[in-house]
Amino acid sequence: MSPRSTTVAIVGAGPAGLVLAHLLRRAGVDTAVHERLTRAELERAARAGVLEHRVVEHLRGLGLADRLVAEGERHGRCEIVCLGERVTVDYGALSGGARHWVYPQQSLVRDLIAAYEADGGTIAFGSPVAAVAADGTGRPVLRTAEGELRAEYAVGCEGAHGVVAAAFPDRAEGPARRYPYDWLTVLARIDRPVAAVRYAVHADGFAGMMPRTADVGRFYLEVPAGERVEEWAPERIRGELGRRLGLGGADPVPGELLETGVLRMRGRVARRMRHGRLLLAGDAAHTVTPSGAKGLNSAVADAADLAGALTADLLGGDTGALDGYQRRRLEAAWRTQEFSDRLLDLLHLPAGLPPEQREFALRLRLERIRRIAAPGPEGADFARAYAGAGQLTAAPVGAVPRPAAPPPSDAAVSPG
Ligand code: RFL
């Protein structure tokens, strides 16, 4: 098989890979996208669903949010339940008008694939990249079932523990935290839509309810770290959700459980998102717990910024463009981690707290909840960070003339 070549090889067709591929293609950059899953598997994978204001505005500006805006729902309030009190946080008002969009990740992925294909792009589905090495000039060579793929740049958009990160000298590792609890994740059929995100701070552990579609809701239950999903029969899950979330009255009732799993709760940020001609975006560079609904949003923001940085670099006029990308997005990743960690701290009681001290800890949390729900600097700060107020900082994407194919030979990846 003779090696293929491209300008930018993208590993993974999740939100990060698809947004990047789309923007580069529009700029005239030759791209090759490899995705491990089949198209049907990818378009079925239900994960996120709560999108930030600034991310949707950005996608809308790129013409990539038509269906999202037509079918998605806007949410500007969440509820936090603690000691029987249900506090409404009107973050839309507190942030000065920024609200979330609720639209399932798999629908966004389907729309992005359709838009990329409508522009003439193709994705190699069911085609994992097995490894990434480098030729003698430091250019990446990707190993796929279809043979070698040579590229000017390779971008890892393939989630945590990816093959592009594995080719960094430090494997793109960085500071990480394993939280002392896990979350049981549940996708359940519901009899009416979830009107607002609800978080329950409870003596027996956190519980959460998030909107997805009219008849499907996303639910979370705090469970001990290392818990196995088999410990949780459907009746136990439904009972615990109802009790901790205080479900009743006009609330949705979780019925059939469509998917259950246990999410190991971790935060992680790579020390580097760039090593020479290797780049990372999205979960490949950082993973954040779902507490603040930030993972998909960060992935899209990375991709939007990287598209501008890559075109600036390919145009040859800006040698610092890719380092600028790394700097901006690592700073953003830490802001996101700090926000999500602060929210987790509010939503969980300290590990190992004796039962007789739980009410005290809950009462302290209720004070904090009331403060973020009230007009003032703390409320405004939480609301703006939660809704993703303002605009994405993304370098403009320039049009790039087609470069010559890279020369072949073999060696280690060298930093550029
Ligand atoms: P993705 O979406 O994981 O896509 C990576 C893609 O790469 C493919 N892949 C490979 N392809 C080729 N060769 C290889 N060697 C490959 N290895 C992997 C994979 O098959 C996959 O298709 O990464 P990306 O693009 O960085 O996007 C990240 C987001 O998907 C993720 O952060 C969010 O889902 C996190 N998240 C949420 N984020 C939000 O912003 N809002 C939310 O409401 C929200 N809720 C959630 C979530 C994540 C959850 N789970 C399951 C972890 C709720 C849950 C339960």
Does 168 share its domain with 111?
yes
* Chosen domain end from 301, 324, 346: 346
Distance CA 288, CA 344 (A): 11
Does 128 share its domain with 230?
no
Q: Which two tokens stand for residue 41?
A: 């598997």
What residue type is assigned to position 82 of the chain? Answer: C
pLDDT tens-digit readout, 185-215? 999 999 999 999 999 999 999 999 999 999 9
In 3D, which of 382, 298, 393 has the Cα closest to residue 343?
382
Residue with CA at minimum distance from ligand 1 atom 18: 158
Give me ligand 1 centre to Cα 399, in Å.
29
Give me ligand 1 centre to Cα 283, in Å.
7
In a domain, 326, yes or no: yes
What residue type is assigned to position 68 of the chain? Answer: L
Q: What is the CA radius of gyration of the chain?
A: 22
What is the four-CA torsion angle of 132, 133, 134, 135, rounded to 10 degrees? -110
Q: Which two tokens stand for residue 11?
A: 């590993």
Handedness of CA 97, 98, 103, 104 (dihedral sign): negative
Counting the structural domains of the chain, the total is 2
Using an 8 Å Cβ cutoff, are 290 and 263 in contact?
yes
Q: For residues 145-166, give the mean pLDDT.
A: 97
Residue with CA at minimum distance from ligand 1 atom 17: 158
Asked whether the predicted pLDDT for residue 10 surpasses 90, the reply is: yes
In a domain, 357, yes or no: no
The predicted model scores a pTM of 0.94
In a domain, 78, yes or no: no
Q: For residues 297-317, give the mean pLDDT.
A: 95
Q: For residues 117-132, give the mean pLDDT.
A: 97
Give me ligand 1 centre to Cα 96, in Å.
30
Give me ligand 1 centre to Cα 205, in Å.
26
Q: Share the mean pLDDT of the chain.
A: 94
Residue with CA at minimum distance from ligand 1 atom 41: 293
Using an 8 Å Cβ cutoff, are 92 and 76 in contact?
yes
Asked whether the predicted pLDDT for residue 376 surpasses 60, the reply is: yes
* Chosen domain end from 346, 375, 395: 346
- Testing ligand 1's pocket by substitution, the residue of 158, 288, 298, 339 carrying the most ligand atoms inside 8 A of its CB is 158
Q: Which two tokens stand for residue 40?
A: 């049907």
In 3D, which of 200, 210, 288 has the Cα closest to residue 244?
200
Does 140 share its domain with 42?
yes
Does 160 share its domain with 283?
yes
Give me ligand 1 centre to Cα 296, in Å.
7
In a domain, 59, yes or no: no
In a domain, 115, yes or no: yes
Does 193 share its domain with 334?
no
According to the model, what pLDDT value does residue 137 have?
92
Q: Please provide residue 250's backbone torsions phi and psi, each rounded to the nearest 5 degrees.
A: -90, 10
Distance CA 224, CA 349 (A): 12
Nearest-atom index, ligand 1, CA of 160: 3
Residues 6+ apart with CB under 8 A from 252: 190, 191, 192, 193, 194, 209, 217
Q: Which two tokens stand for residue 188?
A: 């359940």
Nearest-atom index, ligand 1, CA of 287: 32
Q: In CATH, what number is assigned to the domain containing residue 24?
A: 3.50.50.60
Does 308 share its domain with 184?
no
Does 22 share its domain with 127?
yes
Q: Which two tokens stand for residue 48?
A: 């996120």
Which residues share a beta bridge with 149?
A: 4, 142
Q: Please provide residue 22's backbone torsions phi and psi, each rounded to the nearest 5 degrees.
A: -60, -50
Residue with CA at minimum distance from ligand 1 atom 46: 48
* Chosen domain end from 266, 281, 310: 266
Give me ligand 1 centre to Cα 404, in Å.
33
Does 44 share its domain with 137?
yes
Does 244 share its domain with 279?
no
DSSP state, residue 120: T
Q: Which residues line ligand 1 (CB under 6 A)?
A: 11-17, 34-37, 42, 47-50, 105, 128-129, 157-159, 162-163, 185, 263, 282-283, 290, 293-297, 299
- Testing ligand 1's pocket by substitution, the residue of 296, 300, 343, 386 carrying the most ligand atoms inside 8 A of its CB is 296
Does 120 share its domain with 131?
yes
Give me ligand 1 centre to Cα 363, in Å.
36
pLDDT tens-digit readout, 211-239? 999 999 999 999 999 999 999 999 999 99
Residue with CA at minimum distance from ligand 1 atom 32: 295
β-strand pairing of 129-134 with 140-144: antiparallel
Asked whether the predicted pLDDT for residue 412 surpasses 70, the reply is: no
In a domain, 66, yes or no: no
Residue 144 structural domain? 4-49+104-174+270-346
According to the model, what pLDDT value does residue 1 have?
58
Angle between helices 15-26 and 295-314 (to 10 degrees): 30
Q: In CATH, what number is assigned to the domain containing residue 194?
A: 3.30.9.10
Residues 6+ apart with CB under 8 A from 71: 103, 107
Distance CA 184, CA 307 (A): 35
In a domain, 246, yes or no: yes
Residue with CA at minimum distance from ligand 1 atom 1: 14
Give me ligand 1 centre to Cα 246, in Å.
30
Give me ligand 1 centre to Cα 290, in Å.
11
110, containing H or E segment: helix 105-118
Asked whether the predicted pLDDT for residue 134 surpasses 80, the reply is: yes
For residue 400, what pLDDT band results from cuts at 50, 70 and 90?
Answer: confident
In a domain, 86, yes or no: no
Give me ligand 1 centre to Cα 198, in Å.
23
Distance CA 399, CA 16 (A): 20
SS3 state of residue 98: coil
For residue 2, what pLDDT band results from cuts at 50, 70 and 90?
Answer: low
